[in-house]
Structure 1
Amino acid sequence: MRHCVHRAGYPAQYQGAGFSASPKEQRTVPYDRTVRLAVTDFDAATTAVRQALADQGFGILTEIDVRATLKAKLGHDMEEYLILGACNPPLAHRALEADRSIGLLLPCNVVVRRDGDHVLVQALDPDTMVTLTGLDSLKPVADEATARLDAALGALAAT
């Protein structure tokens, strides 16, 4: 059975120069958009994710095989876990025009990972850009990126 799962983020404690949040002041910020795939073959799932993102105008700029990296560097075994750095150039350009520092949050990270017998696909919620920066000028960019990522995730859920 295919279904889409959206879950809230975890409590985050904000700290910085002159600012420290008490546990009571901690905020829960949703930061992901997640879909569980019916496909159980990891390579097939990864191919489908790449195509769904491409169909929405995203190219893959970076790819990190976390499983292989942790095995090579630490000798640690873990489930299949891939981080794709997805970029939609027109959206990235608009975001950078609004705030040059937004590059710290680019590209859009999309995770493909094994979860038991299933494969999960998780994308960073683009509204995180607006939440973290407080810049309303990023809202239209975040809204369009959300629509495109949701379309990609929806296409994956429908296969």
Structure 2
Amino acid sequence: MSRSTTQDGVPVSASVPDAPIRQAIIFVGLIFAVSLAFYLPGIASGQGWISVAVPSVVSDIGVFGPAIAALILLGRERGRAGLTKLVRDATAWRFGARWWVATPALPLLVLLGAMYAGCRLLGGPPTTATVEMLAAAGTEAFFIVPIIAFVIVAFAYGEEAGWRGYLLPRLQT
């Protein structure tokens, strides 16, 4: 290991002991800049400040601000090696396969539990509203579950890649 990197491979200049703090501050500032670049057009359109209708998917990309900032800074600091390490760390299996099933299933179970509790509190039979809703949705109801799971995972990755993949090693230094 060279003297200019930490154990996590975070570049640290030997002459500048506060480099990780500076990198963290730049990262947080870049997150704001990237995220606002995607959020502000939607806000301006919704408020009538601009006459262009901005699709909501543009604002949704703002959730990936931390990941985009991490990719920009890692690409600048460490090149292809930094980007490869970020992707490799994000796709590493660090726990058993059962947790890969349980993690996306848990929010769905909580949602169903909340629906059940809501029906009980409102005095109706616990399954009536759910069954009627699923019957009205038809076969589309079965396609929504994988879509919801994908959106949860994609949005979580947009946050985690930046906060844990880039910022956390610098703050730990």
TM-score by length of 2: 0.33
Q: Which has the higher contact order (CA 8 A, sep 6+)?
A: 2
TM-score in terms of structure 1 length? 0.35
Q: Tell me which protein shows more strand as a share of its residues.
A: 1
